[in-house]
Amino acid sequence: KQEVTQIPAALSVPEGENLVLNCSFTDSAIYNLQWFRQDPGKGLTSLLLIQSSQREQTSGRLNASLDKSSGRSTLYIAASQPGDSATYLCAVSGGGANSKLTFGKGITLSVRP
């Protein structure tokens, strides 16, 4: 059974800092990996999707990397801003008929002005 782990559960940083959020998964036979953002009491917003054959994806100040063989992904946020404060969830898909996402518990990020 696939398990996704995100540590630490919470992180507080000063504005302007570059930061890395970590995600690990137990079964390397994934189809793709997605990073989501969730604001309190809201739904999920997709940030980046990485195919299993890719190493990284970039969108603006965000960069996500994937090392399938070691079961790890990182989300890099450059020049963090208070508006980046949210919970960041990592999820993996098995693909095909098993396209459901298996999520980690998320990392709650607070960016202090």
Partner 1 sequence: EAEVAQSPRYKITEKSQAVAFWCDPISGHATLYWYRQILGQGPELLVQFQDESVVDDSQLPKDRFSAERLKGVDSTLKIQPAELGDSAMYLCASSLEGGLLLDTQYFGPGTRLTVL
Residues that bind partner 1 (CB under 8 A): 4, 31-32, 34, 36, 41-46, 49, 51-52, 89, 91, 93, 95-101, 103-106
> What's the one-letter identity of residue 17?
E
Nearest distance in Å: CB 88, partner 1 = 11
Residues 6+ apart with CB under 8 A from 92: 2, 4, 25, 30, 31, 32, 33, 34, 101, 102
Beta carbon of residue 16, minimum distance to partner 1 (angstroms, whole number): 29
For residue 87, the cross-strand partners are 38, 108
**Closest CB to partner 1 among 14 and 41?**
41
Q: How far is the CB of 103 from partner 1 (least distance, A)?
A: 3
